Chain A
Amino acid sequence: MTEIAATQAQRRAALARLFALADWTLARELTEPFAGTAHHVVRGPETGLVMLRGRMGSTGAAFNFGEATATRCSVRLADKTEGHAYVLGRNGELARRMALCDALLQQPEADMAAFDKIAQQMDEAIAARRSAQAAKVAATKVDFFTVVRGDG
């Protein structure tokens, strides 16, 4: 894989991750300017299953422990660029929007600055959500004292 291709794969994976973790209302709002781009839906959106895996002792050999619903979609732009999306849950509209953005991101003339801005906004929203929860969790941090028995 060339360096440019690697960078593109990283960009695509990074944007897909943000879509998958961000609040859908925000992701939809931010990507609304792209929604009207002409595209052909090659597949889906269709909902299916993915099998989740854990590791014995959290770091050892893998095992299957349960499935989750997931939705996928593939689209093709007028210039034949294809975009693909997989996301947990059953939101077909989200999968289609993700696939469209995945395709647009690969175009040579893609507006990278616009995508970077969207990515940054989603990233900040996810970080804010996580740190708000972390602050509440941190308030429950505990210090246990051990008391020697039998000295009283």
Chain B
Amino acid sequence: MYVAVKGGEKAIAAAHKLLAEERRGDSAIPAISTAQISEQLSLGVDRVMNEGTLYDREWAALAIKQARGDLIEAIFLLRAARTTLSRFGYCEPLDTSAIQAKRRISAAFKDIPGGQVLGPTFDYSHRLLEFELDAPPPAEVAAAAEAVAMPRVLELLGHEGLIEPASASDAAPGDLTEDPLEFPASRDLRLQNLARGDEGYLLALAYSTQRGYGRSHPFAGEIRHGHVEVSFIPEELGFAVTIGEIAITECEMINQFKGSGGVPPQFTRGYGLVFGQCERKAMSMALLDRSLRAGELGEERVAPAQDEEFVLSHSDNVQATGFVEHLKLPHYVDFQSELQLIRRLRKGGEKP
């Protein structure tokens, strides 16, 4: 039972003023601009856009600044900002084959048409603190950089029939922002849920599948990062127009499958798609997409990562933080009743 608590306005206002001062920090040190956050803490901005489910770099940067770098608080702020806007409509599905690739790798095939490009990556770095970080040398520039086609790596397997085809359906996908999630959830809704889910949570669950809690035997078939154009059909025009471009990362995992019934042994797919360069999350999402397909592929559900109700019900960190953190708000009346109950029980004899 919740009972309203009145009063405290003066203290709350003072607490928020103190918060503002603490947020600013030492006034002798220059304040950071949202442009600096957007440019120099860009992966933090990417994460806030993903879990805030809104692609808007400037707003995400402002949210990070306002939240003093607390990304979950920033995600909450971005979600709240989103609710102030109306929906114009649905875009055409992104054509990620037309990506302006900044990074493209495969851990399954060494030689792939179009080649492997590492792009801006922490991979293979020594993880040593760099004390001269602020004066980087300029990036190298390749002499010949003619546009090369980058066919999909999983299609190489597809030509031989060694991997299942990508799921094909023309049905309009469901939308969690319009209708609440119900179980069993279809794959489109599971992917939407995972795309907005907490990166740490997805990472931990994906890790659990590798440690034996639900077997998936994955290979990173292909990871791509770069910009893709966004196409939209305004009702006033009736034809598709490019309305901008966004940065994305997609991950296609290749997983084992023994075959079942009339289906011969073949590889199966797990897919991850996120805003920006949240590669860890795209990979985790692909692992979980595959583990949650257990039912569809006739696999026994034995591990947490295969339990869609468990996975999908706890992935949203705005919901999670709301429920966990509400415990710190006044519960005085609830607690008094529990306290009285314990006292009566300890006196003995009296029925509660």
Contacts and interface: CB of A to CB of B under 8 A. Distances in A.
Interface of A: 9, 12-13, 16-17, 20-21, 47-70, 72, 74, 82, 84, 86-90, 130-131, 133-142, 144, 146
22 contacts: A9-B237, A9-B239, A17-B241, A20-B242, A50-B88, A54-B191, A55-B166, A56-B166, A56-B271, A58-B96, A61-B173, A61-B188, A62-B93, A63-B188, A64-B176, A68-B54, A68-B56, A70-B243, A88-B243, A88-B245, A89-B56, A133-B102
A141 B145 CA distance: 10
B234 interface: yes
A118 to B, nearest CB: 16
Contacts of A64: 90, 173-177, 188, 192
Contacts of A67: 53-55, 82, 87, 177
A52 B173 CA distance: 11
B168 interface: yes
The DSSP consensus for interface residues of chain B is mixed
Interface residues of B, number: 81
Nearest to A56: B167
B167 A86 contact: no
A141 B90 CA distance: 36
Contacts of B93: 53-55, 62
- With most chain A CB atoms within 10 A of its CB, the pick from B142, B171, B174, B275 is B142
A78 B185 CA distance: 53
B145 A88 contact: no
Contacts of A21: 229, 242, 244-245
A60 B174 CA distance: 15
B139 to A, nearest CB: 5
The 3 closest A-B pairs by CB, nearest first: A88-B244, A57-B166, A60-B166
Contact of B140 (A72, A86, A136, A142): A136
B301 interface: no
Contact of A61 (B117, B167, B236, B243): B167
Contacts of A17: 229, 241-242
A144 to B, nearest CB: 5
B196 interface: yes
B6 interface: no
Given A56-B191, A66-B196, A144-B110, A50 B90 contact: yes
Interface in B114-140: 115-119, 139-140
B103 to A, nearest CB: 7
A85 to B, nearest CB: 9
A57 B168 CA distance: 9
B36 interface: no
Interface string B162-198: 0001111111111111000000000111011001100
Interface in B293-323: none
B267 to A, nearest CB: 12
B145 A20 contact: no
A135 B246 contact: no
- With most chain B CB atoms within 10 A of its CB, the pick from A63, A84, A90, A142 is A63
A67 B50 CA distance: 9
A50 B87 contact: yes
Contacts of B110: 144, 146
Nearest to A131: B145
Contacts of A12: 237, 239, 241
